[in-house]
Amino acid sequence: MGRLVRFTQAKLWLALIFAGSVLIAAPAMTSGAPQSRMVSGQSAQDVIAEQLAAFKSGDGEGAYRHASDRTKQVFRSATIFMHMVEHAYPVLHAPASWTFARARQLNGEALVQEVLLTDGDGREWSAIYVMELGAGSVWRVNGVSLKRTGAQEM
């Protein structure tokens, strides 16, 4: 029971951190070509693509490697992190398809990237990734917010 409470508290903490990031970043989103700049030879889009591939292949360590330090403080291991993604973000864990959409550089150390996804049942989703520069000037995923798009279920 204690593990479940800690996991639920961790999910709430991550949601609060991410909600604040999205509230700040969402109004700044623009349409048009993504603006993810290259840092250390890898763009934020490269990091997101690698994390999505790691989720799909079940590579928890590979997916966790792209999480920000703040996220790693909440989810202390790749196993806990993957469990959270599987249950809270199933479309990220196993998308049928995805593509990059609009992006916005917030400052030199943060950006927001939208990813459009389709799940295994054909439902469409918008994922807003908040990215930050981590140690060594490497992009890290600091949070993701999901929203259903397209036709709503009856």
The token pair at 28 is 């700044």
Q: Which domains does the chain have, with CATH numbers?
A: 2-149 (3.10.450.50)
Return the pLDDT at 108. 80
Which CA distances in Å does 60 have to 33, 50, 79, 132? 30, 12, 6, 20
How many Cβ atoms from other residues are within 10 Å of residue 10's Cβ?
18
**pTM (2 d.p.):** 0.74
Return the pLDDT at 3. 55
**Phi, psi angle pair for 121, to nearest 5°:** -95, 5
- pLDDT band, very low/low/confident/very high, at 153 (cuts 50, 70, 90): low
Return the pLDDT at 46. 96
pLDDT at 67 over 80: yes
Which residues are CB-contacts of 100 (< 8 A; sequence separation ≥ 6)? 34, 45, 48, 113, 114, 115, 116
CA-nearest of 110, 127, 113 to 70 is 110
**Phi, psi angle pair for 67, to nearest 5°:** -80, 150
Query: How many CA atoms lie less than 13 Å away from 126 in the CB half-sphere?
Result: 13
